[in-house]
Amino acid sequence: MLEIKIEHFLDYCKVSNFATRSIQSLRVRLNEFNRFIKKTSVDSVKGISYRHLKVFITQYHNPSIHIKKARIWSLRQFFHFLKLNGWVDTNTASDFPYPKIEKTIPHFLTFEYHWLLLCACPFSEHMEQHFFVNGPDNAARAHLGKLTLMQLLIHYDHHW
């Protein structure tokens, strides 16, 4: 039911210089919405209610909070486009608040903590020259990314 309007909208996004990844995301979410709407008794765009949008955003395929946020963004953009073109009277999706996504604590050490560990570990002369003379350049960062905390601890333990 929405295929043609979705394609018109995506063409509008391309002309409006939306980023390629944004257009890809819009395509995925809106095609998903179209599949959802086809399973309902809605027969026109004007028949899509707030309730339909709410069920799609919050319950369709048990979405994560990140998917919910992407769905809200996509529907807000799409319904704005539909309103601009006179296909709906109001942007029903604009009433949905974006969910708050809590910041998570990283499960890895920062570069600074890696650096402190390296400073405490007795490495070979080559490693010392690379890390301490050259400083934390890109090569050092790349090599540091390959070292795991376990390797550092084992090395540290064997050399004391």
Q: What is the pTM of this model?
A: 0.66
Contact 80, 96 (CB under 8 A): no
Superfamily, domain 3-95? Tyrosine recombinase, N-terminal domain (1.10.150.130)
Domain segments of the chain as ranges? 3-95, 111-158
- pLDDT tens digits, 36-85: 999 999 999 999 999 999 999 999 999 999 999 999 999 999 999 999 99
Please, are residues 93 and 75 in contact by the beta-carbon 8 Å criterion? yes
Closest to 85 in 3D by CA, of 25, 16, 9: 9
* Interatomic CA distance for residues 111 and 117, integer angstroms: 10
Whether 100 shows a pLDDT value over 70: the answer reads yes
Cα 103 to Cα 40: distance, rounded to the nearest angstrom: 36
Sign of CA dihedral 72, 76, 78, 83: positive
